[in-house]
Amino acid sequence: MTIYGQLLSRGYFPKELPPAFFTEDFSAYARTKEGRKALWSYVPAQGYTEPVAYRLALAGHKGLAIRPLGIPNPWAFASLAEITSKHFRRLLKKAGSSQFSKSRPVFELGRQRAIRTMIAPSCGHAVVRIPVREGRAMKRWRPKHPARVAARRAIAQRRVGRNARCCCGESRPEALIRATGPTRCAECQREAAGRPTIDEHHVAGQNNSPVTIPVSANDHRAELSVMQMDWPRVFRENPERDPIIAVAASLRGATDVILFVIEKCVDTAIALLEALAEYLTRRFGSQWWRGTTIERFAPRP
């Protein structure tokens, strides 16, 4: 996906909105021939557009605070995204070289937001982080019914409490256990009780196939089970033991597992490489690979 598409899909709506509100479909439409024609042929009645205003409630040390925000018109944001994408590297370099700001923008593929801020000490020169898989972002799991997923996540969050976290760092509400004492995740609770921390995940669902794979208890509860709950009920339960549904469920389950492995393994390796590239740039300069054995891997102009 292009930078323009990334800005439209993961940079339009405010991050505070729940997952039920997303703009991936708008991004896909805006990059079609029909969508481009509709956007660029639009002429505001008075020469400008106004954002849709809304208020965000924030909890602070002085109580509840209200922050007025706005969502721009799709035509206005698409125009801004197009100009930004054309001069993207120049804008990132300029923002990253500021001597007054303690943070800088970082563009990332496959993350929740297209641009995030990174706190870093000034290193005397601009550092532009280039994702190693730009243009080849791996597909991540996207719920078919985001409103239902968000509702289940909210229920799980209320069950364990706001900002609940295990001593091991686990904070996904589905992986946490409701208890009267300190918050614990499923794995820590089992380890304390001397029980195995590995579950057997039924790839196609227990009613469709006996095939299982070992997976950590936390990931089983917070990732793979959440994915299966987004399936149509007939696929999860298959009350008539329909063989076609069972095969379809197997394919769904295999897809979920593949995406899960990508996020857990491949994305971790990519994040490590990106962090290493950033460290080497900060430590030895933007041309750190010159004169090393790694120079032969540098892209040719």
In a domain, 42, yes or no: no
220: confidence class by pLDDT, cuts 50, 70, 90: very high
| Bigger pLDDT: 150 vs 124 | 150
In a domain, 205, yes or no: yes
Q: How many domains are contained in the chain?
A: 1
Q: Quick one: pLDDT at residue 43? A: 85
252: confidence class by pLDDT, cuts 50, 70, 90: very high
Q: Quick one: pLDDT at residue 105? A: 78
In a domain, 169, yes or no: yes
Residues 6+ apart with CB under 8 A from 214: 198, 199, 200, 201
In a domain, 67, yes or no: no
Note down the domain range covering 219: 146-265
89-98, 134-143, 239-248, 251-260: which range is least confident on average?
A: 134-143
Q: Quick one: pLDDT at residue 138? A: 43
59: confidence class by pLDDT, cuts 50, 70, 90: low
Mean pLDDT of 215-236: 90
DSSP string, 25-69: HHHHHHTSHHHHHHHHT---TTS---PEEEEEEEEETTEEEEEEE
In a domain, 181, yes or no: yes
**If phi over 0 gives left and psi between -120 and 50 gives alpha, with beta otherwise, what is residue 126?**
beta
In a domain, 279, yes or no: no
In a domain, 135, yes or no: no
In a domain, 292, yes or no: no
